[in-house]
Structure 1
């Protein structure tokens, strides 16, 4: 067994964070940009310019299709050369990025994975609909390619015309460089909270129809799009027939100046719609119109006056009706209700320890009941174990908590194991959450360190409450762990996340490792042993996947499952009993 220095070193825990993580968010992007400085300039003693930031960095990206749930297009524009986009194994695949406004474009850098395209085009567009070719080749060689261009556009697309392998095509990074140019202003600006108030929160809404008391959309009434809750939605009713005509309106309570409207669409979105205003809720005037609505999150800048605001839809994107997670109106005036404030973002360089368990109790003693609630009973996800209240979770007397999976018959099940959570002791929002764990190896094991939205305890079903998986492992693959987000529009195998491996290529099962998540209002940075592995950006998720449902309290969970939909069942080679050892769990804010 290879010996490694534990991270961080085990020792006394004080009230402040002892060893802030050296790898900061965006480190990978800064490193990649720095590498663009030429050796020629250095050898001649020339002044070195500041690293050039890609216009494409963390911008919304879409694709023709993705090979895996974790290899989506956002992974190719995140500045992290350890994450990638990979397409399905077919010709004609593409990936595109929305730069937010029209830019002059002078270079595109491609960092290909082994599955590269020998034939492809670089295309640009000002509207995401009409495309022109800026570069084309049939002799691409893969690796790192830097393409000098002289063009402009808001959207940049790589369209593969010929695969070099039997697989699809895959990019570690697609980076677009250039300047602001003389294009249009950003059509999707975020509302300015210093000048624009949220006028629609809690105001009464009406709609052409609503999908009520339907198992697929329970009470999807207009107020659900106005409640600032990204996991509840309004939808038109199938009872009246899903037709192209539909609308949702809000009464702001008093005359208002409207500066923007934000729409977070469900997959049932409108390609054609008008934003209308009215003084009396009867006579409407259009202040914005489109026939190329793209779904997901759309921010529409306006300069309009009225008491009532309506989204009037006339062209469906699917066979269903229309549905919005959020319909937000910003501006001044009206009769606004102030929404509850989120906690302040943490300063990840200056955190305090607010909750922890070092597991220093005597050998054989159970988990501290003041910190942990013990789950029992039958699991979900096709798992084969039963969770017991005692016996499968205990301290080893050496500073670790043992979660033990056994082959034993209990309550009609062939296996037993342990799961515990902090729902009775810790429910919180934002901070750094970390655990030092040694995971077992073997077919059918599924160890996890994860977080569940606390409103699950109040009856909100999964995945509407949100789930943050800091670490999951499939026991047959001891080299890889996974960090994943689950929400109403992306869950299960379609969750938003990425893998993590050790730089040495060693097994994760050979020693303890620290898995962590740093979570604030912008997103969640996952790491393994202090090295950033995957960043979930709120902006990118809302623009490419669906609603961001993580700005509320969550609680922590530790468990070791046996079998299930993902790892499959254990077999004759699976070693029992198996132990997941937890050295500590710490929460910093």
Structure 2
């Protein structure tokens, strides 16, 4: 349980049109609406009657409106990959002064189409061209204190034209041999060699060496093993990205032909469609985004031919409408007995995050004999600490990838108390350090803010106070500590939805995370953790008003797949 951001960070976006990716034309050519009546998804809905489908129904009297925060988005599925001639926006008074429009062929990898930071609302006609099946608008800055609202969000194009679908191509770069102008290997980036960009591990990366002076000229290349037709390249940049770079191909790794170039690289995740042939593919970087060098979490090449290696298979996404209970603890043990050792590993010892308690091996965690498990924080001297508490986890008992993870709990109120229900990437047990293993906080609670809980993700590119998450409370604003509540996360390969008492409170969308924060590192097994911390960096220390003993009471923990 690391220190967590209390607010959802607003989506960062490119500050200008992306050259080379779009063409701005004087007006919409002969075009027809492709979006009308198509399926829509949104980050949020303000009212039951202001849903996303109102923005594509062709009725200027109905609208979509969002919650009151930046980072809200609306996406329409055109049904197939389509040529796009333009987009029209009819804003209500609550408009976005800054927003980003992106396109995607599969709803996962997104490419920027248009962005602005000085919209004045009203009726906007964006005469842009591109192609994609999904079109998404993400708000980077609201013009008012409210959310955003659109009467209409229409996408235009000739229709009937379906460009080749890049998703039908194979991943050619996985596990193939890489080379680079230099590589970093020190305490800041251990063994950041070229192969790390081709391992499908989004928590490992290649970085150029500071020993070369972090100059503007740098490159990384991959040998696809045989001649290939390349249809797209996906770059997932670390914050040390290239603002100017080219994509080059070669038959022999010596004579290179440039097939794409840009001087307005925006970092994060970039998907570049190509139509090129060669055995070797190179990113040649010529201008840095900052004082450091260059770094890529992933450099993926898609197409046909080559000598592709088969990546590890992933489990299928759950059908959240049809789940089975696969693991549970309803805590029906006799009063005073410890947690079931076949399900839980007790985790004693000193804490992290400057917490003040000692997690004892026994005594602070017990069944109450009424169908609950109690984690009790006490003010008592133990191992040089003033407080004791309890932490337990399912490591080496139960690990899982994807599903619905839920706990019904009653949290304690009081300054400095920090109960949590969270998950750690199981590779932490094999020595991979935090945050490279990934962390999913289903629920964290700070005792001095009894009306708020928090759900957060932590990864190498966003962690601690910079974690990606949100705070939330009950609709009536009452204290969460007053009663039991159910906190849940529904997790698949596309994102994680968080729930409070079966009401969705936050969605960590994979595509949004990749395009605004950094890699999505959650496609592997995790284990669950329950604990009650005392003090620490986030809540601060307890005081004379903090009640001791304080009890974090767990009714059940269930996992569905």
TM-score, normalised with respect to structure 1: 0.78
CA distance in 1, matches of 2:280, 2:287: 22
* The one of 548, 552, 571 aligned to 2:543: 571
* Residue 392 of structure 1 pairs with residue 385 of structure 2: no
Q: Does the Cα contact within 8 Å between 1:256 and 1:333 map onto a contact in 2?
A: yes
CA distance in 2, matches of 1:440, 1:123: 40
* The one of 135, 141, 145 aligned to 2:120: 135
* Residue 418 of structure 1 pairs with residue 390 of structure 2: yes
Q: Quote the residue 1:66 is aligned against.
A: none
Q: Does the Cα contact within 8 Å between 1:375 and 1:420 map onto a contact in 2?
A: yes
* Residue 204 of structure 1 pairs with residue 182 of structure 2: no
Query: Alpha carbons of 1:354 and 1:134: their partners in 2 closer, same or farther (altered >3 Å)?
Result: closer
Q: Quote the residue 1:481 is aligned against.
A: 453
* Counterpart secondary structure, 1:490: coil
Q: Quote the residue 2:318 is aligned against.
A: 346
* Counterpart secondary structure, 1:135: coil
Q: Quote the residue 1:17 is aligned against.
A: none
- Residue 338 of structure 1 and its aligned partner are, at CA, apart by 0.5
Query: Alpha carbons of 1:547 and 1:254: their partners in 2 closer, same or farther (altered >3 Å)?
Result: same
CA distance in 2, matches of 1:27, 1:134: 22
- Residue 121 of structure 1 and its aligned partner are, at CA, apart by 5.4
Q: Does the Cα contact within 8 Å between 1:134 and 1:151 map onto a contact in 2?
A: no
Aligned residues, how many?
496
Q: Does the Cα contact within 8 Å between 2:44 and 2:66 map onto a contact in 1?
A: no
CA distance in 1, matches of 2:227, 2:519: 30
CA distance in 2, matches of 1:129, 1:34: 24
Tell me how large the CA RMSD over aligned residues is: 3.4
* Residue 448 of structure 1 pairs with residue 423 of structure 2: no
Q: Does the Cα contact within 8 Å between 1:523 and 1:536 map onto a contact in 2?
A: yes
Q: Does the Cα contact within 8 Å between 1:33 and 1:51 map onto a contact in 2?
A: no
Query: Alpha carbons of 1:334 and 1:72: their partners in 2 closer, same or farther (altered >3 Å)?
Result: farther
Query: Alpha carbons of 1:444 and 1:252: their partners in 2 closer, same or farther (altered >3 Å)?
Result: same
> Which 5+ residue runs of structure 2 have no aligned equivalent?
1-40, 76-82, 103-111, 130-136
TM-score, normalised with respect to structure 2: 0.81
* Counterpart secondary structure, 1:560: strand
* 1:17-32 paired onto structure 2 within 5 Å: 28=45, 31=48
* Counterpart secondary structure, 1:509: helix
* Residue 537 of structure 1 pairs with residue 509 of structure 2: yes
* 1:59-458 paired onto structure 2 within 5 Å: 73-74=70-71, 76-77=72-73, 103-109=86-92, 111=94, 135=120, 147-152=122-127, 170-173=145-148, 175=150, 177-182=152-157, 192-193=166-167, 195-212=168-185, 214-458=186-430
Q: Does the Cα contact within 8 Å between 1:225 and 1:327 map onto a contact in 2?
A: yes
> Which 5+ residue runs of structure 1 have no aligned equivalent?
1-23, 39-46, 59-70, 80-99, 113-119, 137-146, 162-168
Q: Quote the residue 2:26 is aligned against.
A: none
* Counterpart secondary structure, 2:313: coil
Q: Does the Cα contact within 8 Å between 2:328 and 2:558 map onto a contact in 1?
A: yes
CA distance in 2, matches of 1:241, 1:455: 34
* Counterpart secondary structure, 1:367: coil
- Residue 173 of structure 1 and its aligned partner are, at CA, apart by 3.2
Alpha-carbon displacement from aligned partner over 1:391-426 (angstroms, at most 9, x marks no partner): 000000000000000000000000000000001211
- Residue 506 of structure 1 and its aligned partner are, at CA, apart by 1.2
- Residue 371 of structure 1 and its aligned partner are, at CA, apart by 0.1
Q: Does the Cα contact within 8 Å between 1:280 and 1:308 map onto a contact in 2?
A: yes
CA distance in 1, matches of 2:339, 2:119: 62
Q: Does the Cα contact within 8 Å between 2:117 and 2:141 map onto a contact in 1?
A: no
